[in-house]
């Protein structure tokens, strides 16, 4: 199948899916959204870096912090449905142990900060990232709950740094959706409007962070899953450079380890931009530390800033909403008074959807419902249509598409796709260098109603293309749109220049205020 014909077929399929999803979700317009309770305890409003300092200095007991966050989670979860399984009793026990250690230690405050940078901080974890003893099903139904036998590498480092995990949060089945729902835990809601999705696949994390029920979290990103939930929920997420953070302990996994390292990333999600470097430094692999130079100061004045307002006019994606364009322009105007800013036209970005689609569906041996490139997917579809399947539709669709592409997609198309990605990577690396960033929309719109995003699947390509390219990306909120929903942009740099995107994120937080609490109940 040629590339042009493939593009036409893809466009037709996406339009049909969108029309069906629009009809199925139209009733959401008339539903009344529920509100989360008001945040009353100021402990919930401290950034992690400040809260950690207060714990180290014995100004606040760790047990008090953990109990405060547990109370908040219990208050919002009946509304948001973001928690798969909690470990509150263990967390309280660990908090008491932290307080006892602080009461008897001979270490100075500075030494504690150096050895245990996350000491006493509550941490939430996406269910797909292994937390020892907790559910590790990724929204999939198993005969018995699949529990993590040991911590993922990133979680082990968080615990060694003193963090206290509270729970595992909801994810779509096998992380194969841009909305967060499955047959085990159900549907997770957006704290800004419960009729809408928090995104996926790290949607449970996004909802908890956006509602003030989490402070720092660990997510994973294959096609934008650390970025879309923060975009929809008004918080921060960072997809690291390939190899910076180990992805061992993630489910689903892939037996093509080298390819998997390039496209599947575990990374930090936070409510405040200033906390991204704190958490990121903890989970970075030792071998990557000298490459990333995260302790190197990055004055914004020394950064070259490029921006582009859309993907160049893809026939598969939707236009960028004017609220997002206007917010991007406001930040560009602000930056132009501090550093060099230039608009960038990259025509090849209009092929992002096709490139990402072919790239990911050409990867074999990803854990899924089926074996041997989707064999059995059409039979499972019949079970689904007759209400006999244990799965939701997106992972079944993955199997169907995997089966179709394995039969119909010519090797020449895969080679062409990989060559085009390589050329785009070289071009962007040459432009950005070691001191440049690109500002680019995360998604064409704010959060849609539940089910609506399934009809706009190509819009994921605004994020997924950078997994293909292997660039670090930070998602940054830029306030609320005209409907009171969060919107944001991506800040992108060349590989191993994560420190640049994190520096620009903190500049955005200073200018736009960062996280804006969602509308709460009146009482």
- The residues carrying an active-site annotation are 126, 201, 225
User: Sign of the C-alpha dihedral, residues 209, 215, 216, 217?
Assistant: negative
CA distance 357 to 458: 9
Separation in Å, CA 187 to CA 81, 203, 392: 7, 10, 11
3-class secondary-structure state, position 404: helix
Separation in Å, CA 74 to CA 68, 216, 230, 298: 10, 17, 21, 40
Q: Do residues 489 and 441 lie in contact, with contact meaning Cβ atoms separated by under 8 Å? A: yes
> What are the tokens at 265?
């990333």
What strands, in cross-sheet order, belong to the sheet with 83-86?
Answer: 83-86, 164-169, 122-126, 216-221, 265-270, 236-239, 473-480, 486-493, 436-441, 304-307, 341-343
Separation in Å, CA 398 to CA 176, 381, 423: 8, 11, 28
Residues 6+ apart with CB under 8 A from 406: 373, 374
Provide the CB-side half-sphere exposure for 296 (13 A, CA).
Answer: 17
3-class secondary-structure state, position 223: coil
CA distance 204 to 289: 29
Residues 6+ apart with CB under 8 A from 461: 311, 314, 316, 317, 352, 353, 355, 356, 357
Q: What's the gap between Cα 60 and its chain centre?
A: 30
DSSP state, residue 140: -
From the list 488, 501, 496, the residue with the least C-alpha distance to 199 is: 488
Separation in Å, CA 198 to CA 107, 128, 191, 192, 270: 42, 17, 8, 9, 15
Strands 341-343 and 265-270: unpaired
CA distance 244 to 266: 9
Exposure of 485 by Cβ count < 10 A (0-12 exposed, 13-18 middle, 19+ buried)? buried
CA distance 201 to 222: 9
CA distance 474 to 493: 9
Rounded-to-10 torsion of CA 404, 393, 175, 180: 150
CA distance 497 to 436: 9
> What are the tokens at 432?
């950005």
């Amino acid at each position: 199948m040629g590339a042009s014909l493939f593009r036409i077929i893809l466009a037709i399929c996406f339009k049909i899916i969108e029309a069906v999803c629009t009809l199925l979700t139209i009733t959401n317009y008339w539903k009344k959204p529920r509100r989360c309770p008001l945040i009353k305890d100021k402990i919930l409003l401290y950034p992690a870096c400040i809260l950690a300092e207060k714990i180290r200095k014995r100004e606040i007991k760790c047990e008090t912090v953990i109990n405060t966050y547990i109370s908040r989670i219990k208050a919002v979860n009946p509304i948001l449905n973001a928690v798969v399984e909690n470990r509150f009793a263990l967390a309280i026990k660990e908090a008491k142990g932290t307080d006892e250690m602080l009461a008897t230690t001979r270490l100075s405050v500075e030494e504690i900060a150096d050895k245990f940078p996350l000491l006493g901080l509550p941490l939430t974890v996406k269910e797909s990232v292994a937390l020892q003893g907790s559910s590790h099903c990724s929204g999939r139904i198993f005969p018995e709950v699949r529990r993590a036998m040991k911590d993922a590498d990133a979680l082990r480092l968080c615990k060694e740094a003193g963090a206290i995990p509270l729970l595992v949060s909801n994810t779509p089945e096998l992380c194969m959706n841009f909305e967060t729902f499955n047959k085990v835990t159900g549907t997770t809601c957006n704290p800004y409007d419960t009729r809408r999705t928090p995104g996926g696949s790290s949607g449970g994390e996004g909802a908890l962070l956006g509602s003030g029920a989490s402070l720092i979290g660990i997510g994973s990103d294959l096609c934008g899953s650390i970025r879309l939930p923060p975009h929809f929920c008004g918080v921060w997420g960072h997809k690291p450079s390939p190899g910076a953070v180990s992805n061992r302990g993630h489910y689903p996994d892939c037996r093509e380890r080298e390819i998997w390292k390039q496209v599947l990333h575990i990374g930090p999600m936070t409510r405040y931009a200033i906390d991204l470097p704190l958490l990121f430094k903890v989970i970075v692999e030792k071998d990557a530390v000298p490459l990333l130079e995260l302790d190197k100061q990055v004055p914004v004045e020394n950064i070259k800033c490029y921006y582009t307002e859309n993907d160049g006019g893809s026939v598969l994606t939707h236009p960028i909403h004017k609220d997002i364009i206007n917010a991007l322009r406001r930040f560009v105007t602000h930056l132009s008074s501090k550093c060099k800013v230039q608009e960038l036209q990259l025509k090849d970005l209009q092929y992002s959807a096709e490139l990402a689609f072919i790239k990911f569906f050409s990867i074999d041996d990803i854990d899924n419902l089926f074996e041997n490139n989707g064999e059995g997917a059409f039979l499972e579809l019949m079970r689904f249509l007759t209400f006999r399947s244990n799965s939701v539709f997106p992972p079944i669709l993955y199997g169907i598409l995997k089966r179709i592409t394995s039969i119909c997609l010519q090797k020449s198309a895969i080679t062409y796709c990989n060559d085009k990605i390589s050329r785009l990577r070289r071009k962007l690396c040459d432009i950005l260098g070691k001191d440049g960033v690109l500002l680019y929309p995360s998604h064409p719109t704010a959060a849609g109603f539940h089910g609506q995003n399934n009809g706009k699947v190509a819009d994921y390509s605004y994020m997924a293309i950078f997994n293909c390219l292997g660039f670090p990306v930070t998602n940054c909120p830029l306030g609320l749109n005209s409907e009171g929903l969060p919107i944001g942009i991506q800040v992108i740099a060349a590989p191993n220049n994560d420190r640049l995107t994190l520096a620009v994120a903190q500049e955005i937080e200073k200018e736009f205020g960062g996280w804006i609490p969602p509308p709460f109940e009146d009482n």
